[in-house]
Structure 1
């Protein structure tokens, strides 16, 4: 019910730009261009956690990008799921394309499976929505419009409570997340359908993505990469960017 009211409010109530605060614009042309003009690059956390698949991001987590992600995630600006999902789709294409002929390709008979990193139940209840899952659904729609057989497979579950990751270094984040995730019953059969890309909103140390990939691999999933909207500078260095997202 809360999501329905938020979506209705997004349609009828004027809002300031989520990125720069320009009055009564929702998402101004400059901030929308900042998102839509992004191109994916390979991000490698330093040090990289064990089992971390190749990670692609499209934006740096700073300034307007940070504001937009927080507005969607923490303040329930659900209208931002579509533009953020389009950004995430670009990172997914790069992640799937880099896997090579055995990974996934546009027009492939096997579906490309987008598996979102799950939020804690208490966080979903407090926010009134699951932001990563919502962006993943928007990304899958964007990919399907481009000819990909993409679908969202939300099979990851949190099996225990974890501490807030903010302020933890790479070692403590790994310890915090070790054994924290599991897959839903019957996930193995669903994961056999096609290659898997793990998706999240942000990468910092890569601990969440590595744990997700490890659990999915143990369940029988073939994880070919990970995709995020943005990369935070601490603990992540940029590898050579792909020249053209269309290569994926």
Structure 2
């Protein structure tokens, strides 16, 4: 966990760009431009895990973008949350219907409790709040619902192939008790994460969300009458994804 002296040193000592190492700036102009990207796009991993919703990503996971994400996630460079959150907001916006006016809920994919303790923060939740702030400035009715939790421990995903990752996270998430009713207040749920590799975590998060939204929608229909409560749409947005997942969608 970061100590107070580390936070203080970030303020008073010359910083290095998290993306390229250039001195006296936490994020140089060139790397900030790389994080913003040329525009978000739809991404699809291969193989595509069953149940994966439509996913939009801001930028490919490579070069300075990879370095910036790791600095925020693993080294506690919390000042990077704003530019990364703005990139995530762009990916969220890309998946929203044109002219849509319904409320949107950002649901962060939870980190393992042991990882949060080791890092001293939950990077995905932090980015979700940063993205929501940016979307609100643009007039989007959005809220963050950090309602997913791990119901059992999972292994470190690094080093696992797509099939192993699906097995590792299968059934690992659920929605905290009593939170399902919150979904009736929004028309669209967007699962958010910092990175998508195989899509296994997002597919598992979508499964957990669908398990409660089906019940919430049925309850809303009983209360409002048939046809009065519309279905809840679930999508996903990430800051970054494998370059190959972008290339698939260009073909």
1:68-126: CA deviation from partner (whole Å, max 9, x where unpaired): 000000000000000000000000001223xx67xxx2xx2x32100000000000000
Gaps of 5+ in 1: 242-248
Residue 176, structure 1, aligned to residue 168, structure 2: yes
Larger helix fraction of residues: 2
- Counterparts of 1:79-118 in structure 2, within 5 Å, are 79-97=79-97, 105=100, 108=101, 110-118=102-110
Quick check: 213-222 or 137-146, which moved more? 213-222
Deviation, structure 1 residue 2: 4.6
Give the structure 2 partner of residue 224 of structure 1. Answer: 234
Residue 12, structure 1, aligned to residue 51, structure 2: no
Give the structure 1 partner of residue 69 of structure 2. Answer: 69
Indicate conservation of the 8 Å contact 1:158/1:180, yes or no: yes
Give 3-state SS (helix, strand or coil) of 1:220's partner: helix
Task: Compute the RMSD of aligned alpha carbons.
Answer: 2.0
Give the structure 2 partner of residue 159 of structure 1. Answer: 151
Residue 143, structure 1, aligned to residue 153, structure 2: no
Q: Highest CA radius of gyration, 1 or 2?
A: 2
Give 3-state SS (helix, strand or coil) of 1:16's partner: coil
For 1:69 and 1:161, how far apart are their aligned partners in 2? Answer: 24
For 2:167 and 2:3, how far apart are their aligned partners in 1? Answer: 34
Residue 119, structure 1, aligned to residue 115, structure 2: no
Quick check: 138-147 or 27-36, which moved more? 27-36
TM-score (norm 2): 0.87
Give the structure 1 partner of residue 219 of structure 2. Answer: none
Give 3-state SS (helix, strand or coil) of 1:11's partner: helix
Residue 186, structure 1, aligned to residue 178, structure 2: yes
Deviation, structure 1 residue 7: 4.9
Give 3-state SS (helix, strand or coil) of 1:119's partner: coil
Indicate conservation of the 8 Å contact 1:170/1:235, yes or no: no
Gaps of 5+ in 2: 215-231
For 1:79 and 1:52, how far apart are their aligned partners in 2? Answer: 31
Give 3-state SS (helix, strand or coil) of 2:177's partner: coil
After superposition, the Cα gap between the structure-2 partners of 1:37 and 1:178, relative to the gap in structure 1 and judged at 3 Å, is closer
Indicate conservation of the 8 Å contact 1:216/1:223, yes or no: no
Indicate conservation of the 8 Å contact 1:162/1:180, yes or no: yes
Number of residue pairs the alignment of both structures matches? 233
For 2:191 and 2:38, how far apart are their aligned partners in 1? Answer: 20
Residue 214, structure 1, aligned to residue 240, structure 2: no
Residue 239, structure 1, aligned to residue 249, structure 2: yes
Indicate conservation of the 8 Å contact 2:2/2:76, yes or no: no
Give 3-state SS (helix, strand or coil) of 2:118's partner: helix
Deviation, structure 1 residue 235: 6.7
For 1:37 and 1:50, how far apart are their aligned partners in 2? Answer: 29
For 1:53 and 1:33, how far apart are their aligned partners in 2? Answer: 28
Deviation, structure 1 residue 208: 0.4
